[in-house]
Amino acid sequence: MSVLDSKIPEGPLEHKWNNYKNTINLVNPANKRNIDIIVVGTGLAGGSAAATLAELGYNVKTFCYQDSPRRAHSIAAQGGINASKNYQGDGDSDYRLFYDTVKGGDYRAREANVYRLAEVSGNIIDQCVAQGVPFAREYGGQLDNRSFGGVLVSRTFYAKGQTGQQLLLGAYSAMNRQINRGKIQSYTRHEMLDVVIVGGKARGIIARDLVTGQIERHSAHAVVIASGGYGNVFYLSTNAMGSNATAAWKVHKKGAFFANPCFTQIHPTCIPVSGEHQSKLTLMSESLRNDGRIWVPKKLEDAKAIREGRLKPTELAEEDRDYYLERRYPAFGNLVPRDVASRAAKERCDAGYGVNKTGEAVYLDFGSAFMRYGKEAVATQKIENATEAQIKELGQKVVEAKYGNLFQMYEKIVDENPYETPMKIYPAVHYTMGGLWVDYNLQTTVPGLYAAGEANFSDHGANRLGASALMQGLADGYFVLPYTMGDYLAADIRTGAIPTNSPEFDEAENKVREQLEKLMNTNGTKSVDHFHKRLGKIMWNKVGMSRNAVHLKEAIGEIKQLREEFWKDVRIPGEMNGMNTELEKAGRVADFLELGELFAKDALHREESCGGHFREEYQTEEGEALRDDENFMYVAAWEYTGEPADAILHKENLDYEYIEVKTRSYK
Amino acid sequence: MNLTLKIWRQKDANAKGGIVTYQLGGVEPDMSFLEMLDVLNQDLIDKGEEPVVFDHDCREGICGTCSLQINGEPHGPDRLITTCQLHMRMFKDGDTIVIEPFRAKAFPVIKDLIVDRSSFERIQQAGGYVSVNTSGNTQDANAILVPKDKADTAFDAATCIGCGACVAACKNASAMLFTSAKVSQLALLPQGEVEADRRVLAMVEQMDKEGFGNCTNTGACEIECPKGISLENIARMNREYLRASTK
């Protein structure tokens, strides 16, 4: 029944990519000058793809809604980037990185793609260093590494807590070099509103200039969608305010299949929601779980007293605290993977043990770390008869050196000093593993239309490991697309420039204009945010961290209803011809209102629990995720047919030839 | 909290702008400054008026999109943060807050509080990079050792978020701190040293062309910079420039 061809090259796993590169078609340099490529999104995937394709000689146009490519949300990634360099000599290899990624993804990723990712990971670090990315270094002048959750080696390269920023500025500088050469035309404050398909191939886009409001036509021989994930369907997430799924959703409606939309990562350590006015959530790096211990009170009455402000957490005796991760998962303790840690926090809070006024927070406590580091400091500094207070102070200094900027950020937002009282944290939507379905070439089901980075689905299965998103974005852009697109474009050397006056462009532009006019003319009574917030609540309550058939069916109905209400009652002040930020938001929310329904439909159909997708009906007696490999070891790729409810399911079966499929256990 | 907001409104780049006064109630100390503006905008939309537009995106202090001159200071009264990290607990009930766009000839207003910072883009495009192609065959990342202190100093310069607070804080609207941060980062690293002369000359030339003013060492930029970019970078750029231009 499937029309999906993943185009995995023949040969043994470790030779596939090399064999592929040796046999593909190439475009000669003179012909590259006659070929145009559009890249939508300028984060790590889009920025690196644009720079590399332009270096090769193609004419590239980039589009971003921000006022500069440097502001794409890759900039906010904190922790680091993985690579199988094995600089630490701790036994790392391409195979281990590949294995950890497939296992971490709960066996729902494609083997060949993940192996290639591991294979090029080392090249990424070489490339970034050559660009002048200032990674952390050791005193000997070599690159430093640290360790992240779910793995047994140190393979994470980092630049303090700003790794995403530094890598993005590296890709941005590579783009700037090509802009200076005239090989990239950078369109900032522009939003792609549709793809144009001519003769079955992606041949251009319709974009809106967000300053003048003008609708523009841009043609090309191929189009890359690198516009990031769709986490903002939940309204509250760690994504940027402008992060949206419009480019990905519009191409889905034009024929690109959307894969595994229900695979969403909820990150366990974020600052809890403080009130109704909240506009976004802030992440506290996973690295904090190396030293922080997570707990809630053992007794319900203590939790109640804390919520009501009658009891301070520091007053609660050790034996009255429930370190639930250490209790449930003694082997991994506080360093279980993200999906497991998030669910465990929700379970405790749902049972009534939450510790803030909304009952949706747990403690991340550094008290033990202060004492442990303090005792070390006392020993190395040979201080005799140190008091408890002295030990604590010395320990706090060590913690400050490691995580000082994060503690400062927490204090600015929450107005509590985390050195004196434990941090309060709660899970929040962070990353979407699902996305546009792509084959080995990163091509969608529409010829000439590619998807890279978080916008595609391919490498993380049902759960992404820390420090792997940056790796994937740069692998796709620097090292994969330049080859795979060349193979495709070799057939286009005689095509010549694509005209923008064709009926296909006329039709696409008219549709875009119609939708904008419809939004402007609705003249309803409620703001765009009103609908977005309501959608977010449905998604969080019924399609969030744990799901069941009853809630999912309700959600599907409620989202459909909300969508109808939106189109009748949304109010957008101002004009279409000019800058109108409400109109921009409205278009994005209109797409989220469709995507959310497909998301719930996908979650309903997947009758198993795996990675970030937890179905309450499918769990073990201890409450752990229960996978069903016999019936669900496939990628669910949805074809749009007019309404999200009518989307047709296509399955790409996953074969594991090089990895033994096991139950993930962290006990 | 109840506040009086005096906000710069301007229809578009060609229109004449002016201050409009708004009364806003129901502000909570836990709100961020931008969430306070969200509440104002919700009120305006409910009344059928156009909301106040302002630049913002990540709302966690790293993308560099948000700006705003708040009571005369870029990013407001707190230190080492961007506007999106400023919280209303820094203000008191009954306060009057004046909110304007970043002011500089090279940052023309697009609408309300949004300014055009593409001049910064052009400075980077003039030379803010290392000329290396992507090949997968660049040498191993550990082949060239970089002393830790140099790598750390380069990192500190590289943390610039390109928000433009330095320009807005400067009485001359100088972009020296911004430009010198990139010049420094790459001049300090062996990978960037090779074309350091060409880079500093090109970037400074573009900076001047864009209409930014000169540096008179008042140090306001360093104080207002949300990332604490050091004035030493300006000194380093001056040295680099002098050396390159006398060759």
How confident is the prediction for chain A on average, in pLDDT? Answer: 95
Indicate which of B28, B46, B63 best probes the interface with A, i.e. most A CBs within 10 Å of its own CB. Answer: B63
Question: Which one, of A478, A461, A472, A452, lies nearest residue A118 by Cα?
Answer: A472
**How confident is the model at residue A2, as a pLDDT?**
60
Average confidence (pLDDT) over B48-54: 96
Confidence of residue A393 (pLDDT cuts 50, 70, 90): very high
Mean pLDDT of B30-51: 96
The shortest CB-CB distance from B63 to any of A71, A125, A160 is to A71
pLDDT in tens, B54-102: 999 999 999 999 999 999 999 999 999 999 999 999 999 999 999 999 9
Inter-chain residue contact A130 with B130, CB threshold 8 Å: yes
- Token pair listed for A220: 């090309």
CB-CB contact of B168 with B76 (8 Å): no
User: How many angstroms away from the CA of A448 is the closest CA of chain B?
Assistant: 23
Measured from the Cβ of residue A105, the count of other Cβ atoms closer than 10 Å reads 25
Lowest mean pLDDT among A40-49, A405-414, A540-549: A405-414
Terminal-residue alpha carbon distance, chain B:
61
* Tally of CB atoms within 10 A around B211: 13
Nearest to A585 by CA among B162, B75, B113, B51: B51
Q: Do B132 and A131 touch (CB under 8 A)?
A: yes
Indicate the DSSP class of residue A82.
Answer: E
Instruction: Tell me the average pLDDT across A525-539.
Output: 97
CB contact under 8 A, A275 and B116: no
Q: Phi, psi at residue A272, to the nearest 5°? A: -65, 160
Q: Which of B58, B126, B191 is opposite residue A129, by nearest beta carbon?
A: B191
**Is A138 in contact with B148 (Cβ distance < 8 A)?**
yes
| Minimal C-alpha gap between A115 and chain B (Å) | 16
pLDDT at A152: 80
For chain A, the distance separating the N- and C-terminal CA atoms, rounded to the nearest angstrom, is 40
Closest CA to B112 of B59, B67, B52: B52
Decide if pLDDT at A153 tops 80.
yes
* Region of A523 on the Ramachandran plot (φ > 0 left; ψ -120 to 50 alpha; else beta): left
Nearest residue, CB atoms, A280 vs list B59, B128, B140: B59
Q: Which residues 54-93 of B have a C-beta within 8 angstroms of A?
A: 55-65, 78, 81, 85, 87, 89
CB contact under 8 A, B191 and A130: yes
Residue A446 above 60 pLDDT? yes
B142 near A CB under 8 A:
yes
What type of residue sits at position B190? P
Q: Is B45 near chain A, with CB under 8 Å? A: yes
If 0-12 CB within 10 Å is exposed, 13-18 middle and 19+ buried, where does residue A641 land?
exposed
Give the tokens for residue A29: 């340099």
Interatomic CA distance for residues A547 and A170, integer angstroms: 40
Confidence of residue A665 (pLDDT cuts 50, 70, 90): confident
Question: Is a pLDDT exceeding 70 seen at residue A364?
Answer: yes
Is the per-residue pLDDT at A622 higher than 90? no
Q: How far apart are CA B84 and CA B62, in angstroms?
A: 10
Write out the two tokens for A467. 């420090």
Q: Could you tell me how many CB contacts below 8 A there are between chain A and chain B?
A: 209
Domains of chain A: 269-428 (3.90.700.10), 503-633 (1.20.58.100)
Closest CA to A485 of A440, A523, A429, A541: A440
Query: Scanning the structure block, which residue is given the tokens 């929040």?
Result: A428
Query: Measured between beta carbons, which residues in chain A are less than 8 angstroms from residue B131?
Result: 177
Distance CA B148, CA B134 (A): 26
pLDDT in tens, A484-514: 999 999 999 999 999 999 999 999 999 999 9
Q: Which of A108, A338, A563, A615 is catalytic?
A: A338
Contact, A441 vs A449, CB < 8 A?
no
> Would the CA dihedral through A343, A349, A350, A356 be positive or negative?
negative
pLDDT value at position A315?
95
- Element holding B21 (H helix, E strand): strand B18-24
Contact A68 B121 (CB under 8 A): yes
Nearest to B48 by CA among A490, A571, A3, A304: A571
Identify which of A128, A160, A241 has the shortest CB distance to residue B59. A241
Nearest to A132 among B116, B118, B191 (CB): B191
Tally Cβ neighbours within 10 Å of residue B213: 18
Q: How far apart, in whole angstroms, are the C-alpha atoms of residue A658 and residue A71?
A: 39
Write the Ramachandran bin of A355: left for phi over 0, alpha for psi from -120 to 50, otherwise beta: alpha
Q: Which two tokens stand for residue A124?
A: 């990424």
**Alpha-carbon distances of A628 from A99, A100, A619, A625, rounded to whole Å:** 20, 20, 11, 10
The full 3-state SS of A433-488, as one line of letters, equals CCEECCCCCCECCCCCEEECHHHECCCCCCCCCCCCHHHHHHHHHHHHHHHHHHHH
Indicate whether A1 pLDDT > 50.
Answer: no
Task: Name the burial class of residue A121, with classes exposed (0-12), middle (13-18) and buried (19+) by CB atoms within 10 angstroms of its CB.
Answer: buried
CA angle B77, B79, B80 (to 5 degrees): 140
Q: Is A510 helix (H, G, I), strand (E, B) or coil?
A: helix
Cβ neighbours of residue A55 closer than 8 Å, sequence gap 6 or more = A174, A178, A183, B133, B134
List the beta bridge partners of residue A146. Answer: A156
Minimal CA separation from B25 to chain A, in Å:
13
| Residue B204 tokens, joined | 């400074």
Q: Which residues contact B173 (CB under 8 A, 6 or more apart)?
A: B103, B104, B105, B106, B107, B167, B212, B213
pTM above 0.90, yes or no: yes
Hey, CA dihedral for B164, A81, A468, A326, is it positive or negative?
Answer: negative
Contact B65 A67 (CB under 8 A): yes
Q: Could you give the domains of chain B?
A: 3-110 (3.10.20.30), 117-131+142-245 (1.10.1060.10)
Residue B24 CA to residue B51 CA, distance in Å, equals 14
Number of CB atoms found within 10 A of residue A639's CB: 17
Average pLDDT value for residue range A243-271: 97
Q: In this complex, do B39 and A571 lie within 8 Å of one another by their Cβ atoms?
A: no
| Minimal C-alpha gap between B194 and chain A (Å) | 12
CA distance linking residue A635 with residue A229, whole number of Å: 18
Sheet holding A264-270, edge to edge: A264-270, A423-432, A362-365, A293-297, A321-322
Torsion of CA B97, B100, B101, B102, to 10 degrees: -80
Residue B134 and residue A141: Cβ atoms within 8 Å?
A: no
Closest approach of A188 to chain B, Cα-based (Å)? 9
For residue B152, give the amino acid letter: D
Contacts of B189 in chain A (CB under 8 A): 132, 134
- Chain B interface, mutation test: which of A20, A53, A87, A137, most B Cβ atoms within 10 Å? A137
pLDDT (0 to 100) of residue A95: 97
Instruction: Report the gap between the CA of A573 and the closest CA in chain B (Å).
Output: 5
DSSP count for chain A of H helices, then E strands: 19, 19
Q: Which residues contact A326 (CB under 8 A, 6 or more apart)?
A: A293, A333, A334
Torsion A280-A286-A287-A292 (CA) sign: positive
Chain A positions touching B128 (Cβ under 8 A) are: 173, 176
Tokens of A277: 């006015």
Amino acid (1-letter code) at residue A240: A
Q: Concatenated DSSP letters for A610-639?
A: BTTB-BTTSB-TTS-B---HHHH-EEEEEE
Q: Quick check: A146 pLDDT over 90?
A: no
Average pLDDT estimate for B141-167: 97
Token duo for residue A107: 């066996």
Burial of A483 (0-12, 13-18, 19+ CB in 10 A): middle
% of chain B residues with pLDDT over 90: 98
Residue the block writes with tokens 């300028």? A42
Contacts of B85 in chain A (CB under 8 A): 409, 412-413
DSSP code, position B85: G
In the predicted structure, residue A289 carries a pLDDT above the cut 90: no
Cβ contact A76–B58 (<8 Å): yes
Residue B153 C-alpha, separation from nearest chain A C-alpha, in angstroms: 9
Distance CA(A8)–CA(A114), nearest Å, equals 12
> Are A137 and B146 an interchain contact pair (Cβ–Cβ within 8 Å)?
yes
**What's the average model confidence in pLDDT over A440-450?**
98
- Residue in the block written with tokens 């049902």: A462
A494 is catalytic: no
ipTM value for the complex: 0.98
Cβ separation of B32 and A279 shorter than 8 Å? yes
Q: Are B148 and A141 in contact (CB under 8 A)?
A: yes
- Of A247, A208, A249, A243, which is closest to residue A576 (Cα–Cα)? A208
Is B25 within 8 Å of chain A by CB? no
Task: Round to whole Å and give the CA distance between B201 and B243.
Answer: 10
**H or E element, residue A368:** helix A367-380
